[in-house]
């Protein structure tokens, strides 16, 4: 029985989508039934409901999660998301994706994810700090430098990681910087971490363009989600010669087919809080942005953006998944039939966890690298991983997503067979 059939979940649910993707790849591997189920299921899941004292002295109850998907390859690694739509199934799916992401690029980690159901924009800085410190305390039974190492995700940032690290350290009685990555450099963060995911997106886009014999000079790029990942990807793709023609965030989008100045767009976003209203550009909705004719489409907002419904109207050659899970399995089929290539999330956005791994290693050794060393090592791992995935795709005659998942699942399964089933 497939892992998907074992879990009842609504259609297009992120966990359902993650299981469908898993099943597609697992079908190519000679996995025993029990092993296949074990690989699909999260190892442990924690749900917490906790109080936070708000600025007006009222008390609000929040719900948070931390899920460890797999501990086969090593400690678990995965971000913490603050978003009003966070659900256990979303966190499960993202934790599973983290397992495959770490495995496909060869990191000694399993996957995890955490999240709190909250719109962080509606909290004051004080409230955000209180919420973070209480959530960190609640999940501290799941977290440690040797066991589970969180990082930023949507709605969290280096400051939030600093609070998590400080809270954990206060409980221990000594500083434990390696309990989180994506920290500010001043407290043990790594050079290059903030840019790492967007940099990785640019590296795999360059590698894919070379493979597909596509000239990036003047290639048009549309970016959905102009946050940490999308904005850095835009700046670096522009440096590679691409023409950024559209970008969006939750407050709206902008388009100019002659090109947008990526650096100025970042300045505008930092100053105003949104890309909307950028001078010299027209407004565009998020729906229209996805359907804009372009050479490269970079969804870097949230999951489930390109579905069976809108996939027939996507007009691009290459989709680079900056976000986790932006293309649903149903949409993958439509895109494949239309010869649109997808660089899957577990490869395309792995730059963040790769540099998080460097940060963790630097923290444990108390020996810090230059930004050049970080970027050179990131470049090497991203390019090597891309080549491995393409080789599997050619050998098995499958799409890059399935190839990446085959490589990742095979690696975790191999480690599991070698370790054996306890007791
Ligand atoms: P972020 O919060 O910095 O940025 C997200 C951006 O998307 C914001 O600009 C937000 O306004 C926008 N957005 C949200 N919903 C949108 C919608 N429906 N349409 C258009 N824009 C929308 O988050 P981030 O860290 O850049 O993460 C973005 C994605 O990348 C997530 O899927 C995350 O899981 C994934 N990711 C992030 C990292 C990392 O290192 N930050 C690493 C790997 C994957």
The model's pLDDT over 180-198, given as tens digits with 9 standing for 90+, comes to: 999 999 999 999 999 999 9
Please report the domains of the chain, with CATH numbers, ordered by start residue: 41-187 (3.40.50.10860), 196-348 (3.40.50.720)
Q: Residue 17: enclosing H or E segment and its boundaries? A: helix 14-26
**Count of residues making up the chain:** 423
**With the CA atoms of 304, 308, 312 and 317 taken in that order, what torsion angle do they form, in degrees rounded to the nearest 10?**
50
Point out which residues pair with 254 in neighbouring strands. Answer: 247, 283
pTM for the structure as a whole: 0.96
> Which residues belong to the active site?
113
The model's pLDDT over 305-318, given as tens digits with 9 standing for 90+, comes to: 999 999 999 999 99
CA neighbor of 143 nearest in space, from 165, 120, 119, 127: 165
Pocket of ligand 1 contains residue 153 by CB under 6 Å: yes
Pocket of ligand 1 contains residue 204 by CB under 6 Å: no
What integer pLDDT is reported at residue 95 of this predicted model? 98
The mean pLDDT value for 219-226 works out to 98
Pocket of ligand 1 contains residue 250 by CB under 6 Å: yes
**With the CA atoms of 321, 375, 267 and 288 taken in that order, what torsion angle do they form, in degrees rounded to the nearest 10?**
-10
From the CA of 196, give the closest atom in ligand 1: 40
Q: Residue 110: enclosing H or E segment and its boundaries? A: strand 110-117
The mean pLDDT value for 345-362 works out to 98
**Among protein residues, the one whose CA lies closest to atom 8 of ligand 1:** 227
């Amino acid at each position: 029985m497939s892992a998907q059939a074992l879990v009842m979940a609504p259609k297009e649910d992120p966990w359902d989508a993650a299981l469908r993707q898993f099943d597609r790849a697992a079908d190519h591997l000679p996995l025993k039934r029990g092993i296949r189920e074990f690989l699909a299921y999260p190892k442990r899941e924690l749900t917490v409901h906790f109080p936070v004292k708000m600025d007006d002295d009222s008390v609000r109850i929040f719900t948070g999660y931390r899920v460890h998907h797999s501990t086969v390859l090593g400690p678990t690694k995965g971000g913490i998301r603050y978003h009003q739509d966070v659900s256990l199934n979303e966190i499960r799916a993202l934790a599973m994706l983290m397992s495959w992401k770490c495995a496909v690029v060869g990191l000694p980690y399993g996957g995890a994810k955490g999240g709190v159901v909250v719109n962080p924009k509606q909290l004051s800085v004080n409230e955000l700090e209180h919420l973070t410190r209480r959530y960190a305390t609640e999940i501290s039974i799941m977290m440690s430098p040797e066991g589970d190492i969180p990082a930023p995700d949507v709605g969290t940032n280096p400051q939030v990681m600093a609070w998590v690290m400080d809270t954990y350290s206060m409980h221990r009685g000594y500083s434990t910087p390696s309990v989180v990555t994506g920290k500010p450099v001043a407290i043990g963060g790594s050079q290059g971490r903030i840019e790492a995911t967007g940099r990785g997106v640019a590296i795999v886009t360059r590698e894919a363009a070379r493979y597909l014999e596509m000239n990036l000079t003047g290639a048009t790029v549309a970016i959905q989600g102009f946050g940490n990942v999308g904005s850095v990807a835009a700046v670096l793709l522009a440096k590679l010669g691409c023409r950024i023609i559209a970008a969006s965030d939750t407050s709206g989008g902008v388009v100019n087919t002659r090109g947008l100045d990526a650096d100025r767009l970042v300045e505008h976003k930092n100053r105003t809080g949104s890309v909307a209203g950028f001078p010299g550009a027209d407004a565009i909705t998020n729906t229209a942005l996805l359907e804009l004719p372009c050479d490269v489409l970079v969804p870097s907002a949230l999951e489930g953006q390109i579905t069976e419904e809108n996939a027939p109207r996507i007009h691009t050659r290459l989709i680079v998944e900056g976000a986790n899970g932006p293309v649903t399995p149903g949409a993958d089929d439509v895109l494949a039939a239309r010869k649109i290539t997808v660089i899957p999330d577990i490869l395309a956005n792995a730059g963040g966890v790769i540099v998080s791994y460097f940060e963790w290693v630097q923290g444990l050794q108390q020996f810090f690298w230059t930004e050049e060393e970080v970027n050179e090592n990131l470049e090497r791992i991203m390019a090597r991983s891309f080549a491995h995935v393409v080789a599997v795709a050619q050998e098995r005659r499958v799409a890059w997503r399935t190839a990446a998942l085959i490589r990742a699942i095979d690696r975790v399964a191999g480690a599991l067979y070698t370790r054996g089933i306890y007791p």
